[in-house]
Structure 1
């Protein structure tokens, strides 16, 4: 019978980060990742300043700096007369005054290499957590299945679900959840970028279409917001209609209307917004999207997941080392992370209601207005107030720092 101190389902940012931190504390950790590598087209490639600070504290900042990255330090809003700066990150406190756009597989490989240097860490690829092991009213580990179909069990003092919003383990644990309706789904696709295009992040809000263009150097990573449930009908029409409304708002895309030639180039994200009322049960904990599915608004999901992992490692390393994790230890993790999660989701719900919903219904058309909305202009003119949006986007609420046992400075 295989045993470990902590088994983590999911080798995403939260899972690998938690495994690294716990291993540096001396905890025996096994991370299960169902894929054979990290070379996949992830939707989220944003690395926020709080995560950059954390990498520095872990002694990984120099290695991260060698990765191919694009710096995002401003958000510009297209209006009829051109581009207006919506958010600038250049005056943020701290060393990192930008969001790094890095392929997520590069970040995961970096974290995995660092973790595998720890003798207590084990990463099992091609191995998916498919069920919980229950005993005496508690979770005692998980059942796994390999890509070859082999099944097995890993028993552990603590089982952590970091396997995303469609978590199998979360569903089996049957924890109570609160959900909010969302007005949209999202299409993800790429468009070529030229050197004469603007840089940074470009949100576009026209009548019945909202999108965000993220500068990735030689291409734009595009998230186009569509009305909830409208994807199937839209796919019966020409794929060029994905880009055409954007090109009407940002003229420098007009020569790329026909770049998308088939619907397979457009991925659908079913947008969900929910949060577990209780993130844990005896011997079991959910983190990241498994605990709180986030909207793509502001691209903060990865950052929140990593912050969850840091708080969990700091709180749970001592009881794991002693061999006894109690419910009150797991409750402390949720108490620590509920406030920043709830505030962030509240902001996302506000954006859904005040920007995305009205735009999708045709009641808001910023791109064809003469200037930015009044709220944006007021924020931009008040010195202290204008620093709030960039801080919330880039650093978030209650940022976490590496625990002492994991630092390598």
Structure 2
């Protein structure tokens, strides 16, 4: 049997996980509910029997108090008067020689029980000297609750008879059935509620995974788009040089720039993948933000593009390697989308405590309101590619943010904020300030 292809997909597995969580949550709650319902039914049934036995015991004790012996004969006249006012079946056995014989019988409101059926129970209570409880079958087949108590009279120091009382348990069983019905109905409603609640819990618990998966898929699509362009440029340049070797001087710099762009993209992807996988952690430390930005500008912005840099000595706190990737992508994106005449970009780069600001004069992403709300997508003419997606990821990784706002007069202002922690040790601040004084910014 071949596996379902849908279940091999991560989204399919997450959906299947939702179902399993729902089923497991419901099953556990239903199992607990069944257990509690069983205990409740058992306790109610036991209490019902105990209450019925208590009523039978009161009647039996009342009867035994009325029995006496006169002239060697048991007198049961008071028993008959007591029995006439009760709905309980009443049977008396007296000791006759080596066995018990019937002395009185009143069936009460039930169908009555054959005295011969009661004799073994009376003998058991007589021989043991203790009360006996249980069930006995009436002549019409009804099962009655029964209690047998041995008694003795004042003139004899040993048991001389047994009083047996019976009662029909069916009225109490009706209440018990009502309880069972309430437990079943309430349990069914609770099971449905558990299933609904389990489904909500499962959806909420797997939602971050589904959202992360969607983001990952979008990120991979952006990465494929980002890597495809420099690869295509390298291939096109190489094929042109094969056909026309004389153009090597013109095409080789372009190939080198495409290879640099490809290397930077791969480095960013590998860094992100290692951090997501947990093989690399964010290593925050104080560093010279102005020097880092100056190095990136020198490596990235080439003629005919121009840049105006305002880089006073600035200390930031973060992972320099990761921040370098974000700054590089931010400037490369501004160069790519900030061309004013289709051939060159005019940029302004500045640093301030905890932030890097890159501004351009082209239409760029500032013309797309979706980008201004943080939707960094590639694969379209107005998309921003992988660059800003990685910048946004780095900002969130440092508990900062990336803001894109239209620039007055045309263009876009991109502001990467890297908030410093509330407290840095005095030694760290002093060392950072000393480094800034010794190495002035551009």
Q: Same fold (TM over 0.5)?
A: no
Compare relative contact order (CA 8 Å, sep 6+) and give the higher one, 1 or 2.
1
Structure with larger Rg: 2
Q: TM-score range by the shorter chain?
A: under 0.3
Normalising by structure 1, report the TM-score.
Answer: 0.21
Normalising by structure 2, report the TM-score.
Answer: 0.20
* The structure with more helix, counted as a fraction of residues: 2
